[in-house]
């Protein structure tokens, strides 16, 4: 079972005991408001396409000078993005307990067989973002970081769990937002929308890419993709 599916099952069981249903519908206006936070860039920046032009590549701001580390939870079949950053002199930290390692090797890669979660539990191969960053950058409090996160729906849990001071250590954040069709359900709309609001307090969106690999959904008469690739840049870099 994927870690995101596990935590969704836990949440479903908990709220069921409280007499609440995750499937209770949200008002269309609430769903549209939450989705609209992610749909359009709010700032224009010179951009780079890192990792080629296929799956595993991302558009990020041309603002890499001084960045020391990239944290990349969720290891897929391509490590082209991480490899190019490593070639630029950035240390790349990867974490995923479902694979034996990244798709490519590089002397600047450091792989951890663990799932990113809201808390650490070595017995279950879980590590929090706070503990992960501390273990890698604890002696570099002023380190400038990139976060590239593709963890199949676990991104909302991680964003909610991160201290705002920790969040602001990241100059650039690239997130694949999954399961956007769940915004039609009340409690999930508030949960997912809250994570987006937290990010947008400290970051501005500079790139959005719809990804239809997971299909689409209808909302208020329009079709949207269930998955968005979103790149954000910290407010002080605008």
Q: Answer positive or negative: Cα dihedral of 165, 166, 170, 176.
A: negative
The CB density around residue 118, as the number of other CB atoms within 10 Å, is 16
Rama region for 70: left / alpha / beta (φ>0; ψ in -120 to 50; rest): beta
**What is the token pair recorded at 97?**
């307990």
Task: Give the whole-angstrom CA distance, residue 40 versus residue 155.
Answer: 19
Rama region for 228: left / alpha / beta (φ>0; ψ in -120 to 50; rest): beta
* pTM value surpassing 0.85: yes
Domain ranges of the chain: 25-237
Rg value, the chain, Cα: 17
Grouping H, G, I as helix, E, B as strand and the rest as coil, residue 218 is strand
- Tens digit of pLDDT at every position of the chain (238 positions): 455 555 555 555 544 444 444 455 777 788 989 999 999 999 999 999 999 888 789 999 999 999 999 999 999 999 999 999 999 999 999 999 999 999 999 999 999 999 999 999 999 999 999 999 999 998 888 899 999 999 999 999 999 999 999 999 999 999 999 999 999 988 889 999 999 999 999 999 999 999 999 999 999 899 999 999 999 999 999 9
CATH fold group of domain 25-237: Rossmann fold (3.40.50)
């Amino acid at each position: 079972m994927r870690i995101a599916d596990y935590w969704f099952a836990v949440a479903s069981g908990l709220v069921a005991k409280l007499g609440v249903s995750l499937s209770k519908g949200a008002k269309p206006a609430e769903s549209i408001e939450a989705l609209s936070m992610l749909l359009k860039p709010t700032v224009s920046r010179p951009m780079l396409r890192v990792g080629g032009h296929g799956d595993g590549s991302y558009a990020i701001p041309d603002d890499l000078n001084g960045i020391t580390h990239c944290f990349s939870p969720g290891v897929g079949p391509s490590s082209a993005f991480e490899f190019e950053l490593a070639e630029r002199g950035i240390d790349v930290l990867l974490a995923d307990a479902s694979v034996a390692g990244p798709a490519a090797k590089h002397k600047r890669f450091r792989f951890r067989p663990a799932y990113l979660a809201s808390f650490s539990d070595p017995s279950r191969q879980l590590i929090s973002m706070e503990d992960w960053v501390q273990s890698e950058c604890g002696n570099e409090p002023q380190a400038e970081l990139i976060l590239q996160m593709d963890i199949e729906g676990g991104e909302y849990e991680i964003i909610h769990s991160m201290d705002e001071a920790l969040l602001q250590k990241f100059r650039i954040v690239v997130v694949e937002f999954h399961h956007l069709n769940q915004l039609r359900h009340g409690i999930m709309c508030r949960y997912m929308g809250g994570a987006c609001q937290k990010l947008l307090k400290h970051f501005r969106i500079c790139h959005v890419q719809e990804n239809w690999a997971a299909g689409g959904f209808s909302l208020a008469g329009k079709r949207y993709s269930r998955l968005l690739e979103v790149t954000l840049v910290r407010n002080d870099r605008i």
